[in-house]
């Protein structure tokens, strides 16, 4: 018999979590204006809001915290992290930042200006926010298979190379400061990008002399999918695969709160010295001196260890395996989810789950609220609320998919928690015909409204 995966770690410390009743949760979510971001964490039983900064560190990371060098300039923790980033990514230049969006802010300040065009594969919300804030435009060139949750495709995060070339032909070269490839593609369901696709995008970018950058929050999970799904990579190590895909780009931004296995952190890594020098100025202005960039020395040390741990195959097998364990349970219950399963989360297709709720009443948000009331699970809407209004027309934007994302924190929950989550979804699915009204927005911010939006039940 083939042995199943098992976590390559055991548990040394536990953190209690609190149960509550449906009545309590109905009241709490109302008081929170039906926005799950407004709930205090003690009102949540299983928190799947995000996999960002919510994972567990290892004993080696914790011991590195004690070795943190808090010198303002040139700390040993910085040097340790710099060496690790160079070794793992292959990029020569490195700037720490306090998280992923800060890396975007610094790099985009150096490279993106008003009127620019930034093509990519379903840009992440903060990425898009930082592009649009500069009055530039993000163009989504993801393959169309990504937007049909029922289609099986091993690399739904891929870029449609023809669509990308059309963008290159349509706009003058100097208007396209970069292409951003997000690995894995969070917005499309944690879906990976193949090495073949990265290579094709890279050579097209070279042909048109447009730099290729990675938004690399889940680069290690992406490498695991390449290893297990793409011909020719089965016998390569994760670290070899990572090194190869980064070699096709000019640089990267990363939120280290994901595959960095830390609770806070980010960085920029680059090959181009000129861009590095420009970005350095903004890093000092926005983040801090270039050898800490908003991070404590101890945080940089823990991140250095985390990058090494995240790029080990046994860890990734249990990580991606646990997400697939939940996904398979849901499929068994007949629940519509994005397939194949993503690396960090299961995306529930809310349009198919709740056909009675029109998109104007925020289908995915309605489902997220129902899951919370039923079992104390906090997922997140990846749909119309997140998509914001069009910056010009101020109309709601309706994205191709209306989903609830159940993001699984790294090394945090057991498969019993996964069974519980699946049961909660099944209970709501069984009574879906009784759910007939959604929500309306009563207050919203002009950009990235999902964090603070206030809703009322219709």
Which residues would be at the binding site for ligand PLP (CB under 6 A)?
A: 52, 99-101, 124, 126-127, 182, 186, 215, 217, 255, 257-258, 266
For residues 125 and 116, what is the distance between their CA atoms, to the nearest angstrom? 18
**Of 92, 11, 105, 43, whose CA–CA distance to 293 is shortest?**
105
- Select 126 or 351, whichever has its Cβ closest to ligand PLP: 126
Take residue 417 and report the two structure tokens written for it.
Answer: 């928690």
Question: Which is closer to ligand PLP, CB of 182 or CB of 322?
Answer: 182
- Has 125 been annotated as catalytic? yes
Q: Alpha helices of 264-361 — where are they, by DSSP H? A: 273-286, 297-310, 313-332, 350-353
Residue whose CB is less far from ligand PLP, 343 or 438? 343
Supply the minimum distance, in Å, between the C-beta of residue 410 and ligand PLP. Answer: 13
CA–CA dist 410, 259 (Å, integer):
9
Least distance from C-beta 184 to ligand PLP, angstroms?
8
The active-site residue out of 43, 82, 227, 258 is 258
Q: How far is the CB of 371 from ligand PLP (least distance, A)?
A: 21
**Distance between CA atoms of residues 386 and 189, nearest Å:** 14
Residue 215 designated active-site = yes
Q: What residues contact 435, with CB distance under 8 A and at least 6 apart? A: 354, 356, 357, 366, 370, 428
- Compute the least distance from the CB of residue 438 to ligand PLP, in Å: 27
Catalytic residue among 51, 125, 140, 259: 125
Which of 177, 376 has the CB closer to ligand PLP?
A: 177
> Does the annotation count 450 as an active-site position?
yes
Indicate the residue whose CB is closest to ligand PLP: 100
Residues 6+ apart with CB under 8 A from 325: 415, 418
- Residue whose CB is less far from ligand PLP, 188 or 335: 188
Catalytic residue among 124, 168, 276, 315: 124
Determine the length of the chain: 458
Nearer to ligand PLP, 295 or 428 (CB): 295
Nearest approach in angstroms of CB 126 to ligand PLP is 4
Going by DSSP bridges, is the β-strand pair 454-457/439-443 parallel, antiparallel, or unpaired? Answer: antiparallel
Rounded Cα distance between 364 and 447, Å, is: 19
Question: Which residue carries 């447009």 as its tokens?
Answer: 210
Least Å distance, CB 99 to ligand PLP, is 3
Clarify whether 333 is annotated catalytic: no
Of 6, 22, 72, 457, which is the active-site residue? 72
Q: Answer yes or no: 72 catalytic.
A: yes
Contacts of 294 (CB under 8 A, 6+ apart): 96, 97, 98, 99, 102, 287, 288
Positions marked active-site: 72, 124-125, 215, 217, 258, 450
């Amino acid at each position: 018999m083939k042995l199943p995966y098992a976590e390559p770690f055991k548990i040394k410390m536990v953190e209690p979590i609190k149960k509550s009743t449906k009545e309590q949760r109905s009241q709490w979510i109302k008081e929170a204006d039906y926005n799950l971001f407004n709930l205090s964490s003690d009102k949540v039983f299983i928190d799947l809001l995000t996999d960002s900064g919510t994972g567990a560190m290892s004993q080696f990371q914790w011991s590195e915290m004690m070795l943190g060098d808090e010198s303002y300039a040139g700390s040993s923790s910085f040097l340790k992290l710099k060496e690790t980033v160079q070794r793992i990514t292959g990029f020569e230049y490195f700037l720490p930042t306090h998280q992923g969006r800060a890396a975007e802010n610094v790099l985009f300040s150096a490279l993106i200006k008003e009127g620019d065009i930034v093509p990519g594969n379903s840009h992440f919300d903060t990425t898009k926010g930082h592009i649009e804030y500069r009055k530039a435009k993000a163009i989504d060139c993801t393959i169309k298979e990504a937007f049909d949750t029922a289609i099986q495709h091993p690399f739904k995060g891929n870029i449609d190379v023809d669509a990308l070339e059309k963008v290159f032909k349509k706009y003058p070269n100097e208007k396209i400061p970069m292409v951003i490839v997000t690995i894995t593609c969070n917005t499309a369901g944690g879906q990976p990008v193949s090495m073949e696709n990265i290579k094709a995008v890279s050579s097209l970018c070279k042909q048109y002399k447009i730099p290729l950058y990675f938004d690399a929050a889940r680069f290690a999970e992406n490498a695991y999918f390449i290893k297990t799904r793409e011909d020719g990579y089965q016998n390569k190590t994760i670290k070899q695969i990572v090194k190869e895909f980064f070699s096709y780009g000019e640089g990267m931004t990363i939120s280290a709160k994901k595959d960095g296995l830390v609770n806070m952190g980010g960085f920029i890594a680059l090959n181009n010295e000129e861009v590095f020098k420009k970005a350095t100025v903004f890093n000092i202005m926005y983040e801090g001196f270039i050898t800490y960039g908003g991070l404590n020395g101890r945080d940089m040390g823990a991140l250095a260890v985390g990058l090494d741990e995240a790029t080990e195959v046994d860890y990734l097998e249990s990580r991606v395996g646990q997400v697939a364990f939940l996904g398979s349970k849901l499929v068994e219950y007949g629940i519509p989810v994005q397939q194949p399963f993503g690396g960090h989360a299961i995306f529930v297709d809310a349009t198919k789950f709740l056909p009675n709720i029109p998109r104007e009443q925020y289908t995915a948000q309605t489902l997220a609220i129902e899951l919370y009331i039923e079992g104390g699970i906090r997922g997140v809407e990846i749909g119309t609320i997140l998509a914001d209004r069009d910056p010009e027309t101020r109309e709601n934007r309706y994205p191709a998919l209306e989903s609830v994302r159940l993001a699984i924190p790294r090394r945090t929950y057991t498969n019993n928690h996964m069974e519980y989550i699946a049961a909660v979804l099944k209970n709501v699915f069984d009574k879906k015909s009784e759910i007939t009204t959604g929500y309306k927005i009563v207050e919203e911010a002009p950009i990235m409204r999902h964090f603070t939006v206030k809703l009322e039940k219709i």
